[in-house]
Amino acid sequence: MGILERIKEIEAEMARTQKNKATEYHLGQLKAKLAKLRTQLLEPPKGSSGGGDGFEVTKFGHGRVALIGFPSVGKSTLLTMLTGTHSEAASYEFTTLTCIPGIIHYNDTKIQLLDLPGIIEGASEGKGRGRQVIAVAKSSDLVLMVLDASKSEGHRQILTRELEAVGLRLNKRPPQIYFKRKKTGGISFNTTMPLTHIDEKLCYQILHEYKIHNAEVLFREDATVDDLIDVIEGNRKYIKCVYVYNKIDVVGIDDVDKLARQPNSLVISCNLKACFICHLLTCISIKFSYDPALLILLSYC
């Protein structure tokens, strides 16, 4: 049985398992197995660099921003508007097939903006060119998730789920868990506060699933099983994400107002050039500003 089949089997078992006190240990072990398999799935084939033709772009400037989204949501048009770099745009899907870089010059800051091919549901499992796209996103300092304002909120949930499946944590901070492997001494489990999502027994079971029998674990917050697995895996990337809702000219003003009020969200229309480009540029440049006080503003975009 291949890795994908095993992943599907575990996901199906988790879906049909009722969540209660009696099954939490079993579900915890399943989550650990699933995380291990997804990590194996993302490992590049032997003898391969893992980048792929057209995706190996050298970092340039003060930081890198990746445009992530479904096909035909306006990523290429947005790249052209922000950087002046031509990226082919058309009404049909999958116009962009490789990574196209552009440079934003704003307030003495040079920011590399990458137009990536549209990703689809199942990208984390390798569908389309999902693995290459997500690998570039993981090398970025900020993600602009471009969404179609006329489509359902489900698109944002699908993209977030695909990115989280490969270790990208959007607008989250690392769990406050201290974890250190040891050569001897068994497992030392401590916590500075009451835990409601995990206990010592479940922690031991997850560590044993990873064949870790000697380690020091200290919980500094009421973390979850998923948080512990993220810390053990050690390959998660916590990255800021700004949600850019394009094509607001095809929806009502009430919908535009609702989208604009969501955290870390902007509403634009590349078609009519009725967009808050200055505000978007400010948000991006603030991310790479040397003034720590300005970084706070990004969370209020």
Confidence of residue 264 (pLDDT cuts 50, 70, 90): confident
Confidence of residue 79 (pLDDT cuts 50, 70, 90): confident
- Evaluate whether 104 touches 83 at the Cβ level (below 8 Å): yes
CATH 3.40.50.300 maps onto the chain at 63-172+236-298
- The better pLDDT of the pair 225, 278 is held by 225
Q: What is the pLDDT of residue 60?
A: 78
Burial tier of 3 (Cβ tally within 10 Å: 0-12, 13-18, 19+): middle
In order, the DSSP letters of 38-56 are HHHHHSPPTT--S--TTT-
CB within 8 Å of 234: residues ≥ 6 apart? none
| CATH code of domain 63-172+236-298 | 3.40.50.300
Nearest CA to 71 out of 124, 141, 126, 121 is that of 121
Q: What is the pLDDT of residue 262?
A: 87
Q: What is the pLDDT of residue 103?
A: 86
pLDDT cut 90: percent of the chain above it: 25
pTM for the model: 0.78
Q: Give the number of other CB atoms < 10 A from CB of residue 294.
A: 14
Sign of the alpha-carbon dihedral angle for 111, 115, 121, 123: negative
Lowest mean pLDDT among 29-33, 100-104, 127-131, 170-174: 127-131
